[in-house]
Each structure stands twice: as C-alpha cells, then as structure tokens.
C-alpha cells in the first residue's frame, strides 16, 4: 500500500488584493476615530460617574454619622442625654447609615453599568431591541413568579431606610413578640421570651411595635384600703419615689424621677393610686418590680393597710 505525504501549503500572499487590505485598515481607523472614541468616552464617563456617586455617598454617610454623634452628646432642657431620651444609639445609627450607603453604592453601580453597556452595544451596532425585549419578558415572568419575594425585599429596604427596628430591639410584629436577632432584606429573625425562634418575612409585617426605641413607661397601680388616710399614703409614695430616683443603682436607668399621679380609681373598699416612671427602653419591668417592693416595705413600716379581701361563701363563689 503506497504511503502518501501530507504537505502543509501556505496561501500565496502575492495573490491578496492590496486595495482590500488598505480598505479594511482605513475602515478600522475611521471607526476608531468615530465610534471607537464614543465607546471609550462612554466607558470613561461611566467610570467617572461611578466614582462621583461613591464619593457623594461616602461624604453623605460621613456627614450623617458625625451629626448623629454630635446629637447623641447634646442634652435637653432637663439635662438628659438626647441619645437616652430619643433612642438615638450612636453605634446602631452608624451601622444603619453605612448599610444604606452600601446599598446605594451597589444600586448605583448596577444602574450605571447597565446604561453604559446598552450604550456601547448601540455604538458597535449590536441589536439592543431583542435584548430589551428579552429582559422585559423575563422581568414580567419573574415578577409574576416571585411577587412575594420582591415584596419582601422592598419591605426590607424600607425597614432599613426608616430604621423601624434593629438587632437587639424587642418588637411586636403581630405574629410574634421577641428580641430581634437578625435583620436581612427578606426575613427578620426573632426569639421570643420562651426561647422560640421566629422567622418573619418582611413583606408579611403589616404593623410593628418597637419596645426598645425612645423611652419606656413603667406604670404602677398600688391598691390600698379605703380606710387609710390618703394624704399619708401619697406622702409615703412620694418619699419612696424620691429615694428611688436618688439611688445610684437606678438613677442611670431613669429619664426623670417617678411621679405619683394620685388616686386613679375607687372601687368598693379599694383605692388605687397610679405612679408613672419614665425610664430607658426595656428597663420598665425592672423599675416596676423594684418600686413595688420598696412601696410594700414602706407601707408595712407606716402601717398602711391593703384592701380587704372579698367575703368568702361556703359554695366557693363570691
């Protein structure tokens, strides 16, 4: 069987049309000097716009952080820190502002990149219409298929912007009450007082109550017997409130000294006196317990009688 040889043959460069080569080079140079310059200019403008946007966001974040730090150190007319009485926690506020700034930078980068990409595609004669049509159809399909997901993300963005709550806050979402352990754009994780972890979708939160913002109100109702001298009862309660406010262990948790509001109701042989103590958010329960204990000890010391028990009937009913 004869053996055949494979010979590598190169094209004859002499057969190339010099005019065609020159035409291609001229067309390339012409494109580089017209549309090519526009493409480069578009990319440069996009990079400059992204840099300017990031710089603007960074300056805004720095200004807002500095302003919150200054405001946290101010005091109101009564000498209380505004950070204490209005719930402006410096670290939390800085974290929220930085999160919002990062979100704005990301959104701005995506928008600038999309606009620049479409502009470059149009300059190099790539069909933009089919891309936009495909994106529109895909967006509609995703919108119908992920309505709840989009709703959750939008709700999460607004929650972060408006600072409705943060990690460590005690909130009431309607479905669950507990301490916030994690906040994302889609879900909020809570742990209730029994230790149960709740995952609440942001889009399903219609209303929310934050028990950790601003100040807490400790309401105390003290029932006493109708036979007591009410002037003496009110005087004893005011002494207890004054001594409680002067206690260093509790003074830092109070926004203002407890106030004896007076007789709130009279029912049969029972007179109820109401007391209000403004304190730091989340401290109202401890303030209530401590004040009740001190008031009970003061009542025993001054022989102030408690309300009489209802009469008992043999049938077990009152």
User: How does pLDDT run across 237-295, given as a tens digit for each residue?
Assistant: 999 999 999 988 888 888 888 999 989 988 888 999 999 999 888 788 889 999 999 99
Q: Are 259 and 244 in contact (CB under 8 A)?
A: no
> What is residue 22's predicted lDDT score, i.e. its pLDDT?
60
Q: Which domains are assigned to the chain?
A: 19-145 (1.10.287), 164-210 (2.30.30.60), 215-301 (3.30.70.100)
> What is residue 295's predicted lDDT score, i.e. its pLDDT?
93
> What is residue 68's predicted lDDT score, i.e. its pLDDT?
59
Count Cα atoms within 13 angstroms, Cβ side, for 81.
Answer: 16
Question: In whole angstroms, how far apart are CA 302 and each of 228, 236, 305, 306?
Answer: 11, 8, 9, 12
What's the whole-model pTM score?
0.55
> What is residue 81's predicted lDDT score, i.e. its pLDDT?
46
With a cut of 50, which residues of the chain have pLDDT below it? 1, 3-11, 13, 74-82, 84-88
């Amino acid at each position: 069987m004869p053996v055949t040889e494979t010979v590598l043959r190169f094209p004859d460069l002499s057969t190339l049309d010099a005019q065609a080569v020159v035409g291609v080079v001229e067309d390339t140079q012409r494109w580089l000097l017209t549309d090519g310059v526009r493409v480069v200019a578009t990319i440069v403008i996009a990079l400059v716009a992204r840099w300017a946007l990031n710089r603007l966001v960074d300056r805004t974040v720095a200004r807002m952080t500095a302003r919150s730090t200054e405001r946290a150190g101010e005091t109101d007319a009564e000498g209380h820190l505004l950070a204490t009485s209005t719930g402006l926690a410096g670290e939390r506020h800085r974290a929220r502002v930085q999160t919002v700034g990062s979100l704005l930078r990301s959104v701005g980068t995506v928008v600038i990149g999309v606009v620049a990409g479409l502009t470059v595609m149009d300059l190099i004669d790539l069909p933009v219409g089919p891309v936009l049509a495909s994106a529109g159809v895909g967006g509609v399909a995703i919108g119908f298929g992920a309505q709840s997901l989009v709703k959750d993300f939008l709700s999460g963005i607004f929650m972060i912007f408006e600072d409705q709550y943060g990690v460590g806050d005690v909130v009431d979402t309607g479905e669950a009450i507990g301490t916030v352990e994690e906040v994302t754009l889609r879900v909020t994780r809570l742990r209730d007082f029994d230790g149960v972890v709740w995952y609440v979708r942001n889009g399903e939160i219609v209303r929310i109550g934050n028990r950790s913002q601003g100040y807490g109100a400790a309401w105390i109702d003290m029932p006493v017997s109708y036979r007591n001298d009410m002037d003496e009862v009110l005087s004893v309660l005011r002494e207890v409130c004054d001594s409680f406010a002067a206690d260093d262990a509790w003074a830092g948790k109070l926004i203002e000294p407890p106030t004896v509001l007076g007789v709130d109701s009279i029912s049969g042989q029972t007179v109820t006196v109401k007391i209000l103590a403004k304190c730091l958010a989340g401290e109202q329960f401890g303030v209530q317990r401590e004040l009740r204990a001190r008031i009970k000890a003061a009542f025993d010391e001054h022989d102030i009688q408690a309300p009489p028990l209802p009469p008992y009937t043999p049938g077990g009913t009152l």
